Amino acid sequence: MAALGWLTPRRRSATARSVLAGEASAEAARKTAQAEAPPFAEAPDPTSDGPDAARSIARAEAARTEAAEAPQAPPEPEFPVPGDDLAAAFFDLDNTVMQGAAIFHFGRGLYKREFFQRRELARFAWQQAWFRLAGVEDPEHMQDARDSALSIVKGHRVSELMSIGEEIYDEYMAERIWPGTRALAQAHLDAGQKVWLVTAAPVETATIIARRLGLTGALGTVAESVDGVYTGRLVGEPLHGPAKAEAVRALAGAEGLDLDRCAAYSDSHNDIPMLSLVGHPYAINPDTKLRKHARAHDWRLRDYRTGRKAVKVGVPAAAGVGAIAGGTAAAIALHRRRR
């Protein structure tokens, strides 16, 4: 898995290295997407069965009834627009699509396979616990995780880490997908649009997650490999902050997309450069800085962590009921874990 590289999340404009990282990520994403047609999504339908699902459906129906009885504002234009092939959607991964950080889940799986020692696992566990509680990235934690991951994967074959990554997804990641965000992504797919993950996680890890969710592909950090073996170096820098925006810009240019018609979703203020590129930015489970920025710029917000509505809630029309039900199910599950 490409070095699991994530760099210190400092505010900065794009540099030559971030442009290189973005272009390398876009190239890798297009090659992977063209090489294989994604199978059907394996993520379970949160409204399919079980008592929690039944309660979620009931709450969704109640919400829909309440909305129907309330004074109706003028309807917004349908979004996403069906058949608009100049539009696409870009989703951040950590804490937007998935609870927690992919790098820490991956590290846990590597420890289980004896890639490193217990003391390193303890550091991974502490960093993940902090991330889950705070909901934001800590610069020192992410720098430490990046350096540790680079040393761990150096000398291993790309194919080996890809195979292990598939197993780790099933073990630690599949159950942590936010159903509400998954419904938003599905709305874009149902409208005939491409949907891409955009993350500082290794492009191989991100590609596995995208494939398992039935998405188009993924933009992620690209690690250097020679003859299929990781060298322990990155191409450019981690896909973080401005580098994400550069990757989206490069992919949009290669795919012939109109960014004003595209949508982007993220939880972090670090992704404001990416969100600002598109015509339809969404703050999902936003941190404090992003929530403040979104309110100031009249961006749509959605929070699936507690079930509460943000000040301004905007959900693509095609995902309305699914997103509400998914968000309710996620809130119930999170509440039960905390008890």
For the annotated catalytic residues, the residue numbers are 92, 94
- Per DSSP, the three-state class of 309 is coil
Q: What is the DSSP letter of 261?
A: G
Long-range contacts of 255-258 (CB under 8 A, 24+ apart): 255/30, 255/88, 255/194, 256/86, 257/86, 257/87, 257/88, 258/86, 258/87
Q: Which of 42, 179, 237 is nearest to 220 (CA)?
A: 237
Nearest to 45 by CA among 327, 303, 326, 286: 326
The residues near 66 (Cβ < 8 Å, ≥ 6 apart) are: none
CA distance 107 to 125: 9
Query: How far is it, in rounded angstroms, from Cα 218 to Cα 30?
Result: 9
Alpha helices in 256-308 (DSSP H): 272-275, 288-296
Torsion of CA 143, 121, 304, 219, to 10 degrees: 50
Q: In terms of C-beta density within 10 A (0-12 exposed, 13-18 middle, 19 or more buried), how is residue 338 classed?
A: exposed
CB-based contact 138:131 (threshold 8 Å): yes
Q: Per-residue DSSP letters for 179-220?
A: HHHHHHHHHHHHTT-EEEEEEEEEHHHHHHHHHHTT-SEEEE
